[in-house]
């Protein structure tokens, strides 16, 4: 798997306890919109075109009033969404200040934005609210993730939300003050944008190229001090990624090795912000760099770093890559692939589904090795059809991750056993839109297949 594949597929949950903050926040956004839009219904004259004789003589008043009301309504929706999301993220530990304080800071930053540069704005807010630049960078990252109204028809009535450009301006001010978290977030977006990650492109596009060049210089400066702060390994890893991307492989290797030496193999909640953009770990970055080398001896060195990531950091991506050094008939392949799949690695999940389907075959080539037969004795000796049932369970897991080919396979299976309700349920899932409005449908052909089958056209 290349860095670009990692960038597209790798994702970890931000929170592990209770309902995730993003799911909760959608509810907060819906509540905010219902309150705000409900209030607009109590002011019909400010939205509807006036019909009095006076208003007919002044047609410009109607459009001006309506525009003002739309702006007021967007302001109301945004503020309610902010307060709800800040409350949730404070509870989950992603926001390091009270919701009301965060909202006051944001409003004050906005008020001064037209009369003050971003860095000075940030510095004054730090002094006024007795906080840190890092906490304001954290606030910026949280603000960027505030969900907008889910109802597109309601969104169309309003001006665009300013949360994303506001968050970018906050990040810019923090980065100009050389805050590591802000610089890492911005440059991670820049790097991932090069890998065609749509969501990262959206964030990276909010920063001027002239500023990005300055942040690269700040990154190099931070790299010299990497041992003195928790985000040091991320700084070094980013330096390595940019160096590798620009063809300086030996330099990249040096950065990765230093990042590994200073890295956090054991989970440390303070080592990264829970809403930071995903960044490949240095052991996997170095593993991929070595694995891509033409020299087979160098390629074999990659296994060492993937093994460290798997065993010492329990890294699912490392487990997935470690499995590639084993034969599919070896129980170690099954052990490593199962670890990766259990942690939500999509390709490992698909590989397990294929594996158990092959196990179910008569005279399966997977079972040639006696060690694998012994490892699967619990399954083979249980009951007939148990292997293929397990294959379907892993297909269902892949489907739950949004892999639509797996969903179609499940629909076909339901059809084969005359489970019409199950078939239609899976076909309807194929019609689901991508989770983000910035994402493009990856399997448009399968969506058309589902539409035809649901319409009775086979």
Instruction: Report the Cα–Cα distance between both ends of the chain, in Å, rounded.
Output: 36
Predicted confidence at residue 66, as pLDDT, reads 57
The predicted model gives 118-138 an average pLDDT of 98
- The answer to whether residue 409 scores a pLDDT higher than 80 is yes
- pLDDT confidence bin for 437, thresholds 50/70/90: low
DSSP per-residue codes, 300-354: HHHHHHHHHHHHHH--HHHHHHHHTTS-TTSHHHHHHHHHHHHTT-HHHHHHHHH
What's the CA gap between 163 and 166, in Å, rounded? Answer: 5
Q: Which range, of 120-129, 149-158, 174-183, averages the lowest pLDDT?
A: 149-158
Q: What is the pLDDT averaged over residues 117-139?
A: 97
Whether residue 177 contacts residue 123, with contact meaning beta carbons closer than 8 Å, is answered with yes
The answer to whether residues 210 and 176 touch, using CB atoms and an 8 Å cutoff, is: no
What's the maximum distance between 2 C-alpha atoms anywhere in the chain? 93
Q: Is the confidence at residue 9, as pLDDT, over 50? A: no
pLDDT of residue 48: 41
**Crossing angle for the helix pair 249-261 and 232-245, to the nearest 10 degrees:** 170
Q: 398 pLDDT band (50/70/90 cuts)?
A: very high
Question: Over the stretch 86-112, which tens digit does the pLDDT of each residue have?
Answer: 999 999 999 999 999 999 999 999 999
Long-range contacts of 448-454 (CB under 8 A, 24+ apart): 449/408, 450/408, 450/411, 453/411, 453/423, 453/427, 454/424, 454/427, 454/428
Number of neighbours of residue 50 by Cβ within 10 angstroms: 16
The more confident residue out of 123 and 3 is 123
Q: Give the SS3 label for residue 172.
A: helix
pLDDT category of residue 65 using cuts at 50, 70 and 90: low
CA distance 136 to 121: 11
**Mean pLDDT over the full length of the chain:** 86
Q: Are 441 and 434 in contact (CB under 8 A)?
A: yes
| Mean pLDDT on 302-308 | 97
Helix axes 249-261, 282-291, angle to 10 degrees: 150
Burial class (CB in 10 A: 0-12, 13-18, 19+), 444: exposed
Mean pLDDT calculated for residue range 293-314? 95
User: Is residue 270 very low, low, confident or very high in pLDDT (cuts 50, 70, 90)?
Assistant: confident
pLDDT at position 157 is 86
Which pLDDT score, from 0 to 100, does residue 269 have?
A: 72
What does the pLDDT read at residue 107? 96
Residues 362-374: pLDDT tens digits?
889 899 889 999 9
The pLDDT tens digits of the residues spanning 246-259 come to: 999 999 999 999 99
pLDDT number for residue 87: 98
20-34, 162-176, 184-198: segment of lowest average pLDDT = 20-34
**Cβ 134 vs Cβ 181: under 8 Å:** yes
Whether the CB-CB separation of 78 and 106 falls below 8 Å is answered with: no
pLDDT tens digits along 197-250? 988 999 999 999 999 999 999 999 999 999 989 999 999 999 999 999 999 999
Q: How many CA atoms lie within 13 A of 345 on its CB side?
A: 24
Confidence band of 380 (pLDDT split at 50, 70, 90) = confident
The answer, yes or no, to whether residue 326 has pLDDT greater than 90, is yes
- When pLDDT is cut at 50, 70 and 90, the band that residue 71 belongs to is confident
Residues 6+ apart with CB under 8 A from 428: 450, 454
pLDDT at residue 271 in the model: 80
Residue 18 φ then ψ, to 5°: 75, -170
Give percent of the chain with pLDDT exceeding 70: 84
In the predicted structure, residue 457 carries a pLDDT above the cut 80: no
Q: For the chain, which residues make up each domain, given as ranges?
A: 15-173, 402-458
Q: Tell me if 367 sits within 8 A of 373, measured CB to CB.
A: yes
| More confident: 435 or 37 | 435
pLDDT surpasses 90 at 424 = yes
Quick: pLDDT tens for 333-354: 999 999 999 999 999 999 999 9
- Label residue 64 by pLDDT band (50, 70, 90): low
Q: Tell me which of 37-41, 146-150, 284-288, 292-296 is least confident.
A: 37-41
pLDDT tier for residue 8 given thresholds of 50, 70 and 90: very low
């Amino acid at each position: 798997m290349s860095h670009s594949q990692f960038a597209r597929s790798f994702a970890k949950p931000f929170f592990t306890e209770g309902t995730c903050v993003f799911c909760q926040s959608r509810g907060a956004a819906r509540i905010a919109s219902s309150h705000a839009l409900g209030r607009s219904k109590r002011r019909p004259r400010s939205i509807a075109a006036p019909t009095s004789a006076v208003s007919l003589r002044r047609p410009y008043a109607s459009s001006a009033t309506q525009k003002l009301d739309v702006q007021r309504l967007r302001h109301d929706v945004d503020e309610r969404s902010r307060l709800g999301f800040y409350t949730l993220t404070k509870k989950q530990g992603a926001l390091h200040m009270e919701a009301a304080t965060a909202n006051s800071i944001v409003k004050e930053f906005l008020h001064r934005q037209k009369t003050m540069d971003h860095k000075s704005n940030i510095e004054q807010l730090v002094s006024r609210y007795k906080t840190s630049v890092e906490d304001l960078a954290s606030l910026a990252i949280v603000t960027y993730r505030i969900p907008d109204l889910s109802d597109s028809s309601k969104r169309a009535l309003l001006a665009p939300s300013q949360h994303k450009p506001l968050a970018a301006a906050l990040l810019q001010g923090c980065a100009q003050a050389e805050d590591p978290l802000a610089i890492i977030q911005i440059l991670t977006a820049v790097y991932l944008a090069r890998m065609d990650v749509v969501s990262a492109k959206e964030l990276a596009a909010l920063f001027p190229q002239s500023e990005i060049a300055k942040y690269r210089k700040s990154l190099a400066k931070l790299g010299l001090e990497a041992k003195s702060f928790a985000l040091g390994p991320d700084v070094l890893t980013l330096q390595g990624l940019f160096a590798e991307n620009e063809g300086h492989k030996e330099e990249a290797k040096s950065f990765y090795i230093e990042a590994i030496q200073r890295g956090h193999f054991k989970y440390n909640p303070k080592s990264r912000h829970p809403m930071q953009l995903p960044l490949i770990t240095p052991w996997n970055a170095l593993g991929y760099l070595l694995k891509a080398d033409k020299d087979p001896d160098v390629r074999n060195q990659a296994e060492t770093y993937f093994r460290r990531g798997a065993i010492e950091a329990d890294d699912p991506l490392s487990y997935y890559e470690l499995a590639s050094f084993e034969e599919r008939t070896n129980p170690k392949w099954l052990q490593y692939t199962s670890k990766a799949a259990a942690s939500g690695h999509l390709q490992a999940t698909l590989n397990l589904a294929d594996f158990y389907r092959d196990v179910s075959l008569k005279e399966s080539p997977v079972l040639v090795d006696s060690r694998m037969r012994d490892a699967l004795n619990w399954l083979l000796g249980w009951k007939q059809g148990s292997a293929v049932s397990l294959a379907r369970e892993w297909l269902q897991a892949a489907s739950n991750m949004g892999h639509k080919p797996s969903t179609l396979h499940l629909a076909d299976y339901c059809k084969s056993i005359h489970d019409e309700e199950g078939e239609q349920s899976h076909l309807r899932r194929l019609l689901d839109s991508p989770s983000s409005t910035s994402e493009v449908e990856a399997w448009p052909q399968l969506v058309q297949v589902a539409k035809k089958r649901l319409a009775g056209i086979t």
